[in-house]
Amino acid sequence: MKRNVLEQYKLPSDVRFCKKCTVSNQRPRISFDEHGVCSACNYAEYKRTGVNWKEREDELIDLCNKHRKLNGEYDVIVPCSGGKDGSYVAHMLKYKYGMNPLAVTWAPLKATELGRRNLDAFIASGFNHILGTPDPMVTRKLTNLAFTHLGDPFQPFIYGQTNFPLHMAVKHNVQLIMYGENGEVEYGGNMKNAFRPTRDIEDHDEHYFSGLPPEFWVEHGISEANLKPFMSPRFEDIQNNNTEIHFFGYYKFWDPQENYYYCREHTGFTPNSERSEGTYSKYASLDDQIDGFHYYLSYIKFGIGRATSDTAHEIRDGKISRDEGVALVKRYDHEFPRKYFKEFLDFCSITEDQVNQVIDSWRSDHIWSNESGVWKLRKPIWDEVN
Ligand SMILES: [Zn+2]
């Protein structure tokens, strides 16, 4: 079976790369300006030159004052996996801005040892914490379905990760949810929330459900009761709670590498001893054995692998040059996530042949060519002619 990637993700058929970073116009929802520069690079430039960060911090202090309860109840929910970003936000809110946060974690599909250690160290640095763990049998089945039908095994996790903080907000009578960065804005996507701190709750379906309603899963043998922990609370409950979702990256200059340094010092965060597969970095996305397959499928569908994403961020943050980025993409983007492949096959109850069939079904002709049985990117960034 062949998927229509172009149509499904509404992609342009002519692959073009940003003049400043390594991302291409194949990233869903990204836009390019008339100079061939992507929306994420323009936003990074705006962050550096167009924002008065002192005023933004004052806005944050006002927000904290508005939500601070002083009666012992929690006043902010911070979604946090124990990784560097959520841990940084939670720690800053508690220790710098005097909030009483409840840290919440939606369990990884299949946790890594290091991820669990980092979460424990984060909690030990002084937090009340709730872990949401859905039925692993259901999770495994959902992961299989998401991989097979959506080409992304990570979807069930994203469902839960998005909705669990909303459940906790409603249940604990907390009005403020504070995320780290707004990925749509920082990394390229829908820019409508770029210049304000909040996200509409209604946006969830559009951004995180890949156009598939929950009914799709019911049709594939997952009962409504099984699906419930992954789903959003009732919309009226969210509204009646006056729930607001904010992004810390709107208020404070967002720099993932600085977050890493901060967490190494304050929350006991440990990076990986070796680089993650598909990239060169050691400190991002370390908690889940499955996430390498999420990045790999992104490489297959869009030609945008993990090294492309990482280099694009670091170029925008001024950590590496574009040429260095291109070299890293060439070296690492194509790397298959071998390390946990056996665990992935077991977890999804799927064979290696089935995995390869799914992968090949997502190879679009506008991204890939097959030369004597070898798949090649039609237009890799290192062959680009300017
Ligand atoms: Zn760019």
Q: What is the pLDDT of residues 312-342, one digit of tens each?
A: 999 999 999 999 999 999 999 999 999 999 9
Position with higher pLDDT, 369 vs 184: 369
- pLDDT bin (cut points 50, 70, 90) of residue 385 is low
What's the CA-to-centroid distance between 209 and ligand 1, angstroms? Answer: 25
Contacts of 331 (CB under 8 A, 6+ apart): 280, 307
Distance 37 CA to ligand 1 centre (A): 5
Instruction: Please state, for a pLDDT cut of 90, what percent of the chain lies above it.
Output: 69
Both tokens of 226, joined, read 């099984």
Tell me the average pLDDT across 344-349: 95
Here the tokens at position 227 are 């699906």
CA of 161 to the centre of ligand 1 (A): 27
Give the Å distance between the CA of 22 and the centre of ligand 1.
Answer: 6
Distance 310 CA to ligand 1 centre (A): 12
For residues 132 and 278, is the Cβ–Cβ distance under 8 A?
no
Give the residue carrying structure tokens 């259901």: 138
Q: How far is the CA of 200 from the centre of ligand 1 (A)?
A: 26
List beta partners, residue 244: 176
Q: How far is the CA of 188 from the centre of ligand 1 (A)?
A: 8
Q: What is the 184 CA–ligand 1 centroid distance (Å)?
A: 13
pLDDT at 89 over 80: yes
What span, in angstroms and rounded, lies between the C-alpha atoms of 160 and 167?
10
Tens of pLDDT, residue by residue over 261-296, are: 999 999 999 988 888 899 998 777 778 888 899 999
**Distance between CA atoms of residues 166 and 243, nearest Å:** 8
**Cα–ligand 1 centroid distance for 14 (angstroms):** 17
Q: Is the dihedral of CA 20, 25, 30, 35 positive or negative?
A: positive
- Taking the centre of ligand 1 as the mean of its atom positions, its distance from the CA of residue 160, in whole angstroms, is 30
Distance from Cα 21 to the centre of ligand 1, integer Å: 4
Share of the chain above pLDDT 70, in %: 93
CA of 43 to the centre of ligand 1 (A): 9
Q: How far is the CA of 40 from the centre of ligand 1 (A)?
A: 6
pLDDT at 386: 53
Q: What is the CA(304)–ligand 1 centre distance, in A? A: 13
Please give the distance, rounded to the nearest whole angstrom, from the Cα atom of residue 255 to the centre of ligand 1: 16
Q: State the distance from the centre of ligand 1 to the C-alpha of 26, rounded, in angstroms.
A: 12
CA atoms of 96 and 90, how far apart (whole Å): 10
Please, what is the average pLDDT of the chain? 90
Q: How far is the CA of 251 from the centre of ligand 1 (A)?
A: 22
Indicate if the pLDDT at residue 223 is higher than 60.
yes
- Is 361 or 186 the better-scoring residue by pLDDT? 361
Cα–ligand 1 centroid distance for 23 (angstroms): 6
182 CA from centroid of ligand 1 (Å): 16
pTM, full prediction: 0.90
Count CB atoms within 10 A of the CB of residue 270.
14
Q: How far is the CA of 375 from the centre of ligand 1 (A)?
A: 26
- Residue 208 CA, ligand 1 centroid: distance in Å: 23
Tell how far the Cα of 135 is from the centroid of ligand 1, in angstroms. 40
